[in-house]
Structures are given as structure tokens and as C-alpha cells.
Amino acid sequence: MKLLSVSIVLLNIISISFAGEVRLTTDPGLDRFPCWSPDRTKITYTSGASGNDDVWVMNADGTNKINITNNPSLDGDSEWSPYGNKIAFISNRTGTKQIWTCSQTGGDLTQITNLPYNIYQPSWSPEMSKIVHKTADLLVQASVLTEIERNSNASIPMFKCSYC
């Protein structure tokens, strides 16, 4: 089993025995916030390699790097869904940082939240019906549980927030 270590501009894998280290990225931009896929074959991470922050996916050995958000907005802070079929990430493409999801190739882009304050650090529940996140609203400053309710008549999933 291997652990990830993030350096200032590189992503590295270090074995649990700390016997060795393998550099995974050599991009000129800052690479950070790595996250293993549930099957451990891929890693998603935030990179500035394209000139601004985007979400990238690569094989666990560092090959086949793909920019899956490729947008002039700031995208990052990604998290694999428990089944590996979706990636939640934060984007400011609508003005504030909100939760979006997409497939591991960048398709099926969906905005999940539309709150009047910035959101950070999304994390899926095991059954994929909820996402916990941190807020940056001075009045809220708490972790928030967002429950995703699918509504066939809505283009964006409906949600409820309960503050915990």
C-alpha cells in the first residue's frame, strides 16, 4: 500500500515503509490536493499546469494525465465518489465556490450547490446521497451536510442544508 505526499510543486508517492519515493508530476504549475480513486488505479488532483487551477486525473503510476475541468475558472479540491463513477470538486465558475460533479473523464458536469457563500472540501457519504463540506461564510463557519435530492424536473439537483 502506498501513501501520497504533496511537495510544494510535485506529487509524490511514498511507500508505507518509506523505502522510496516516485515523482508523479513535473508540471510547471502547483500540483496539490491528491485523492485516490476507490479502486486505487487513478488519482485526481488540482494543478495549475494549464495556467489556472483545474482538476486533473492520472493513472496511479503518474501516466495518462487528463485535465477534466479545463475551464478558465478556478476548479479544485476534488474527491472521488465511493463507487468511483463521479468526482465532486469546487469551482467558482458561477461567482462563488460551489460543489460540482463530473465523470472521471470530465463529462456529465452538474452543479450541486448554489449557496451565497464559498464552499470548500467536499466529501461524499458512503451511499453517495450526501456531501459534507466546509463553508467560508463568516456567519456560518461550520461544516455543512448537503443532502442531494434527485428531481427529474430540475436541471440541477435539489438539496437541503442542515448545519452541524
Q: Which of 36, 57, 71, 72 is nearest to 105 (CA)?
A: 57
Note down pLDDT in tens along the chain; length 164 residues.
Answer: 444 443 334 455 555 555 667 788 888 778 999 999 999 999 999 999 989 999 999 999 999 999 999 999 999 999 999 999 999 999 999 999 999 999 999 999 999 888 888 888 888 888 887 787 777 655 555 555 555 544 333 333 334 444 43
d(CA 96, CA 81): 23
> How many secondary structure helices (H) and strands (E) does the chain include?
0, 15
Domain ranges in the chain?
A: 33-163
Q: Give pTM, 2 decimals.
A: 0.77
Place of cell 478556478: 74
The dihedrals phi and psi of 21, each to the nearest 5 degrees, come to -140, 140
Task: Note the CATH number of domain 33-163.
Answer: 2.120.10.30
User: At a CB cut-off of 8 Å and minimum separation 6, what does 131 contact?
Assistant: 88, 99, 112, 122, 123, 124, 125, 145, 146, 148
pLDDT of residue 24: 86
- Give the single-character DSSP code of 114: -
